[in-house]
Structures are given as structure tokens and as C-alpha cells.
Structure 1
Amino acid sequence: MTAPRDELVRTAAHLASLGLSPGSSGNLSVRDGDGRVLLTPTGADLAALDPDALSVLDLDGTHLDGPRPSKELPLHLAFYRRDPANRAVVHLHSRQAVAASCLPPWSARSALPPLTPYFVMRVGQTPLLPYAPPGDPGQAADLERLDFPCRAALLQNHGPVTAGPTLKAAAEAAVEIEEVSALLLLLGARHPRLLTPAQARALAARYGSCWTDEREPEEALRPA
């Protein structure tokens, strides 16, 4: 079994190799046992992490060891507190998802519409959190207080953050958000066909993601 430190470093390098982490942007964390969290340090280059130089914290945010943690620590802890099944969190500044975060949300529960089955299967509903300065604990509190299930969010004018039961799942969700955001931008002002609420709920139930949004596609389903 791969050690959590090594898995975090390997996953971060993979996301960087896909061009999803420009410069020193982005941060990842993974649970290490029941009481500790490993988090990328502030200002870290995800392509060149040292497994022996990660920040170590407890679930209250107390810094236990290693370099100073990313300022986005509150977002990571909010996802862990929302659902104990979350064992990893990924936050990126990937280009297409950042662009999508600058647009009005599709609905109150998901900034992005159910364009593809894979978005619903791997990510699920993804609310847009109102703008806050990076690292603002108030934004993390907003995430924690959401009264519907989600394992991802778009931070307005900032980018995506995803959580999952494994680091692989959280990373795959981040990649899928980038892909569905690219499709949304490519479609522009057109009215695409979307999955219906029933179709999205069925996929979410089958694959263990979250979709409780009831918005109907309306004119998007009408023939051109």
C-alpha cells in the first residue's frame, strides 16, 4: 500500500503534468490515520513536492509538524468536518473551471449543469460559493453550513475544490470539473440538452455521488 505522503506527492505531480496547477497554485490534502491531515505547504509547486516536507495538522487545524500549511487549510477542514467519509481534498486553479466560476451559477445547488453522465458520476452537484479572499475562514464556514450534500464546490472567481473517499477520487473529480467547464464554455450561449433530474439522480445513486437538484432543463430540451 502506498504511504499517504507518497500518494499525495504523486497525485499532485500528475495534476501539475495535466496543466491544472499553474505556477505555485493549488493545494492537496489527505487524511493520515484518524486524527492527522497531511497538506501541501504554502506556496508549494505541485510538480516538485518533497514527501518529507509536508505540513502536518490535526482536524482542529493545529499545526503539528512540517512547513507552514497552505492558506486554504480551512476549506480542507470544512470538507472533512462535513463528511467523515471524505479522506482527501483537492483545490486547483485550473483554467476552464476558474472561467466557469466567474459565470452565474446554473442553479442554487450546482454552478455547473448535468451536461454529461461522468460529471454526475464522478463529481455530482457543485455549488458556487460566493467570493471571498483566498484563505478566508468565512468561506469555509459557508461550505460547512450547506444544507444539501456535495463533494465539490466552485469558489467564485477562484476555482474548484473537490473531496472524496480517496485521493484518487478527489483528483478525478477535479479533472472532471475542468472537462465539464470546458464543455460549458464551448457551448456558449447555446441551450444544450441536459440530463434530466431523474437521470442525474439515478446515476448519483448508482455511483455514490450527490445529486439532489430538481431543476428541470426547460427550454434546453426543446428541439431547435
Structure 2
Amino acid sequence: MSAPNTDLVRAGAKLQRLGFSPGASGNISVRDGDRVLITPTGYGMGDLDPDRLSVLDLDGTLVSGPRPSKEFPLHTAFYRRDPDAGAVVHLHSRHAAAVSCRPGWAERSAIPPLTPYFVMRVGQTPLIPYAAPGDPGQAAALEALPFSFRAALLANHGPVVAGADLDTAVDAATELEEVCALLLLLAEGERRLLSAPEIEELTTRYGSFWDIDT
């Protein structure tokens, strides 16, 4: 069984290979009991060292290691609001970042239910109002939303996605990028969205979140 630090390094390298983390952008974390391992500031996702990761408590206090990514409040906010969250991925992936610059589709999901894979692997994805990167107020706004979700778009910035483990979070971030690409490809043309019964069947089967009345 691999260790959380090596799993995190592997996941970061995969996200960079996919082109979802240009330059030194993006950050990733994994929960290990009451501690959070997260990418240090200034490191590209493909340049991580398993022995040079930042370790935080769930309140965001640095326990050991180098200074963490300035986006750490987003990660700890997800862990505090969802005890089932085991990993969090924040990216500047191109298509999701582009969609984050547009008005949201509905209050509880910036993205409509275009595909079954988006609904079952990601679920409703709210748009969080703009704030400068690292602003703890934005993380507080995400934490305080009174409905369930495992992914969000940060306005004019990009996606942040939680999962039960690193593989699940990476897969969900990948699916989110794909549905955003489809949304941009469709532009304002006519499109078919999944119906309420179709959404309900998927969320019941896969345990994802979607409020049908959105």
C-alpha cells in the first residue's frame, strides 16, 4: 500500500501530463487522519518531492514542511465541510477556467446537466464569487454554502474538486474539464439537457449531488 505523500506526487504528475496544470499553477492535497498534506508554494505539480510537502492541521495551521500553497484555505474548507473528502484538487485547466469567467447556469450549478458522467462523477458545481487567489473569505463562502457538492468553480479562476481519495478527485477534475469543453463547444446552440428523472436515477445509483429543481 503506497503512502499518502507518494500518492500525492503521482497524482500531481498525472495532472501536469494531462495539461491541466500549466507552469506552477494548481495545487493538490490529501487528508491523512487529522493532517493535510498539500503542495508547497511555488512548486509545479510535476516537480513535487514526497519529502518536501507542507503538512497542515484541519484549521490550516502549518505543522511541518515548507510554506503551503496560498490556496490552502480552499482545501481545508472542503475537508471541514465534508468528512468524507479525502483529497482536493485545484486547477487552472483551460476549459473549466474559461467557463468560470461566464455567468453560472443556475444558483447551485454553474454547469448544466449535459452528460451522465458529469452528473454521476462530479455533480452540481456552484460558481463561487470572485476573490483574489488565496483570499480566506472565498474559502469561507465555499464552506458555508448550505447544500451538498463536491466541486465548485471559482469565478474568473478555475475549478476546485474534492473526492473520497486522490484517484476519485483527479477523475472528477478530469470529467469537469471535459464537460466544460463540451459546454464551450456547444456555445449558445440548441442542446439537450438530462431530465429530472434521468438525473435522479444517476444520483441515486452513484451517490452524487444534484438538486433537481436547479
TM category (shorter chain) comes to over 0.9
Q: Which residue of 2 aligns with 1:175?
A: 174
Aligned mates of 2:175, 2:194 — CA distance in 1: 16
- Give runs of aligned pairs for residues 177-196 of structure 1, distance below 5 A: 177-196=176-195
- Give runs of aligned pairs for residues 205-224 of structure 1, distance below 5 A: 205-215=204-214
AA aligned opposite 1:195: L
Residue 140 in structure 1 maps to residue 139 in structure 2? yes
More displaced stretch, 174-183 vs 201-210: 201-210
Aligned residue for 1:104, secondary structure, equals coil
Aligned residue for 1:105, secondary structure, equals coil
- How far does residue 213 in structure 1 lie from its aligned partner after superposition? 3.7
| 1:129-179 Cα distance to aligned partner (Å, 9 max, x none) | 000000111111111111110000000000000001111111111101100
- Give runs of aligned pairs for residues 45-60 of structure 1, distance below 5 A: 45-60=44-59
Residue 149 in structure 1 maps to residue 139 in structure 2? no
AA aligned opposite 2:122: V
Aligned residue for 2:46, secondary structure, equals helix
Q: Is the 8 A contact 1:88 1:164 kept in 2?
A: yes
Aligned residue for 2:176, secondary structure, equals helix
Aligned residue for 1:90, secondary structure, equals strand
Aligned mates of 2:68, 2:146 — CA distance in 1: 28
AA aligned opposite 1:111: A
Matched residue count: 214
AA aligned opposite 2:201: A
| 1:85-135 Cα distance to aligned partner (Å, 9 max, x none) | 001000000000000001110100000011000001110000000000001
Q: Which residue of 2 aligns with 1:17?
A: 17
Q: Which residue of 2 aligns with 1:5?
A: 5
Aligned residue for 2:112, secondary structure, equals coil
Aligned mates of 2:30, 2:192 — CA distance in 1: 37
- Give runs of aligned pairs for residues 42-191 of structure 1, distance below 5 A: 42-191=41-190
| 1:22-69 Cα distance to aligned partner (Å, 9 max, x none) | 00000000011x211000001111011100000001111110111100
Moved over 2 A (4+): none
| 1:58-82 Cα distance to aligned partner (Å, 9 max, x none) | 1111101111000011100110011
AA aligned opposite 2:81: R
Aligned mates of 1:29, 1:21 — CA distance in 2: 14
Normalising by the residue count of structure 2, what TM-score does the alignment of the two structures yield?
Answer: 0.98
- How far does residue 198 in structure 1 lie from its aligned partner after superposition? 2.2
Residues 42 and 213 of structure 1: is their aligned pair in 2 closer, same or farther, counting only changes over 3 Å? farther
- How far does residue 209 in structure 1 lie from its aligned partner after superposition? 1.1
Q: Is the 8 A contact 1:28 1:39 kept in 2?
A: yes
Identity of aligned residues (%): 65
Aligned residue for 2:173, secondary structure, equals helix
AA aligned opposite 1:25: S
In structure 1, list runs of 5 or more residues that go unmatched: 216-224
